[in-house]
Structures are given as structure tokens and as C-alpha cells.
Structure 1
């Protein structure tokens, strides 16, 4: 969840994607706590998977941020029957979403948002314009 910056402030975002395109992009208000993260997952993860046509065999990848690995989040993922890819600690360079944040930041920067409302709007618009080819380099998750 990067901070997308411009001259007048920044916003924090949560986003998801699969090899065939982008899913939801949500603005995070304030400092995200585990309850906020859980709320985002509950309202965006499965709906994004459905919209992307992933069926039931998809695997969710997240880093090992304490919010992501909290008991309440792990319990919900388990109850929701969402498979989670094991991920090495302290490995942001391996995290595929980081490449997507770079793409988004470049696209938004070109548009020169003048306030936080525009920044959020441009992020939403540019996220939805990212072509599946930009997402499709991901390796296939093991069965």
C-alpha cells in the first residue's frame, strides 16, 4: 500500500490484481490497523476475484506486515477459504504489487493532480486503465 504523492499531500491505497487485470483499488484513510485491513479484504477481495473471472482456484499473496498476519485476518481468510501464498519476510523487492504501484505513480504524475481529490480520482482512473498485459507477467501459483 504505497503513498502516492504530489505537491499538495499524499494518499495511501490498497489494491489487488491478477495476471489478467486489476481488481479493486481502495483509499485508506489515516493509519491502517488490522481491523481496517480486514474490512478492505472483506469488501474487495472476493468481489475482485469474481470480476476478474478467477474461479475458485486462485491464491492470495500479501506481504508479512503485522496487519496482514494478524489473528483476526488469518481467521477470516481461513473461514472464507482463501488460500494464501507463503511469503518470505522482509522481501518487498519480490512483491509484484510494487511494480504496479510504480506504473500507477508514473501515470498519475503525468496528469499533475492539484489536490487530494484529484489525486484519488486520477489514481482510480489510471488503475482501471492498466492493461492486462502489464499484469500478466506473474508466475502461475503452485496447485
Structure 2
């Protein structure tokens, strides 16, 4: 059975108020939709201690804060006492460098046998692609929930211009995954009418997509800033600023990682690899 929700101070006070108005525990339970045993416990505590505050419970107390809270606390102390402009990520790196590591079992999504077979076939078919071929794939960085109309707006207003600027009239391939919105009939029609060739993509394959590492890079840059955004508008501007600062070599290195990713999937017989 799940743990019951803690009653608020107001709710406990209401129980005592009803009790002082000569309501029985059963009546209070029915009126406030609170278990009768809880009502009785609150009244007993109030009579014994003169308060409705939740009392300390038995059990081992926590010796450490959550890992992220500890890191944030250390970072804040260093910024305040030493005047250092450092990020929590830097602090984590130093802690790891001293040999301290937090470990948790890795959670890997299950890949069906059918999808593993498709991943294997996809990788074998592209095993001998050159770096130049991989660099002529446009990996679109779309995150969040979109419908077909919103996705088509992105393709119309951003993707086409990028394609022509980067590749001109030369051959290129456009990659997007197997999300339902990407397979919508209107999107398929748009691709055909716009003359865009798609790169077939196997299901359950985020580990093959180098764009996922760009999100990590962007998050690292955001956390490394001396102050956090305080509004949605501020966050948008900061993200655009940090996105524009990502070096072109970072993008090329990610594109150039595809041959290694392909080989890793083949070695894993279509299963997940470490990327």
C-alpha cells in the first residue's frame, strides 16, 4: 500500500476546531473525508502535547542530502567565499578526479528482437559510408511535443533554408526518427513536394543519433553560466546564445562518430551500445 498523504497544518487545525465544537471523531471523519483513525490520532496528540504539528518519526535519519543538493551547496560556498565563477559540473569533475563516484545501475530500454534485427540491417547497409557521406546528413534538433502543423512550420521556416545554405544543389539526406508526427501524411507530402530525401531510420535508435549529444552540450553550457535564467524569455535568449557558441568542430566530430556507432551496433548484434 502506498504511503498516505501528509495532512496540512490547516487540515489538522480544522479537525481540532470541529472537536472543540463537540463533533465526534466519526462526524469529523465524514465531514472532512479523513480516516477516523487519523482524526483520533490528531485529537490525542493535541490533548497530550497541545499542538497539532507532526512529530518526529522513528527510523534512521538521513546523513546526506541528495547528491545534487550537496554539489549545489559546495558550488555556492566556493562562489561566495572564494569569488570563483565555477559551475556545479566543474565541482562534480573535481570530486570525481579525487576518486569519489556515485554509482547507479544503468537503465537501458528494451529493444525488441524485430527492431534489433532492423538496426543490424540498417548499420550493415551503411557500414562503408565515408565521413563525407555522413556529413551530408542533416540531423534536425527538435525536442518536445509537436503536432504535424507545428512540425511543418519548423521545416518550412528553418530546415529548408539550412539545407540550401549548407548543401546548395548537392546531394543531402534529412534525418528524423520514427515519431508519429514525422510519419504524418501531410509531412510525407511536404517532403515529396519539397524534393527532400529522407534517411530511413530504424526504430528505437536514439543511440545512433549524434544530435542527442548536442542537447548534453547545451545543458552543460547552460549550467556553466554564473547565473540561472529567471524567466522563460531569459531562458530562450540564453539557449540561443549558447547554441550559437557551439564550435563547428563539435558538430563535425559528432557527424564523424557515425562509423563508430554503426560498428558498435553491429558488435552488439543490433542491441544498444554505449553512446
TM bin, normalised by shorter chain, reads 0.7 to 0.9
Alignment counterpart, residue 55 of structure 1, candidates 168, 181, 187 = 168
TM-score (structure 1 length as normaliser):
0.72
The answer to whether the Cα contact below 8 Å between 2:222 and 2:239 also exists between their aligned partners in 1 is yes
**Is 1:78–2:192 an aligned residue pair?**
yes
Cα distance, 1:105 vs structure 2 = 1.2
The answer to whether the Cα contact below 8 Å between 1:25 and 1:127 also exists between their aligned partners in 2 is no
Cα distance, 1:37 vs structure 2 = 0.4
**Is 1:132–2:248 an aligned residue pair?**
yes
1:25 and 1:65 map into 2 onto residues whose CA distance is 13
Sort the Cα spacing of 1:19 and 1:118 in 2 relative to 1 into closer, same or farther, 3 A: farther
Unaligned runs of 5+ in 1: 1-17
Matching residue of 1:107: 221
1:78 and 1:66 map into 2 onto residues whose CA distance is 18
The answer to whether the Cα contact below 8 Å between 2:148 and 2:182 also exists between their aligned partners in 1 is yes
Alignment counterpart, residue 90 of structure 1, candidates 198, 204, 214 = 204
1:23 and 1:89 map into 2 onto residues whose CA distance is 16
Cα distance, 1:135 vs structure 2 = 0.6
The answer to whether the Cα contact below 8 Å between 1:34 and 1:68 also exists between their aligned partners in 2 is yes
* Bigger fraction of residues in helix: 2
1:126 and 1:49 map into 2 onto residues whose CA distance is 22
1:135 and 1:104 map into 2 onto residues whose CA distance is 12
2:237 and 2:188 map into 1 onto residues whose CA distance is 32
Cα distance, 1:27 vs structure 2 = 8.9
* Bigger fraction of residues in strand: 1
More relative contact order in 1 or in 2 (CA 8 Å, sep 6+)? 1
Unaligned runs of 5+ in 2: 1-133, 259-275
**Is 1:38–2:169 an aligned residue pair?**
no
Residues 26-50 of structure 1 deviation map (CA, whole Å, 9 limit, x = unaligned): 897xx42111101111111111123
CA RMSD in angstroms, aligned pairs only? 2.9
The answer to whether the Cα contact below 8 Å between 2:178 and 2:202 also exists between their aligned partners in 1 is yes
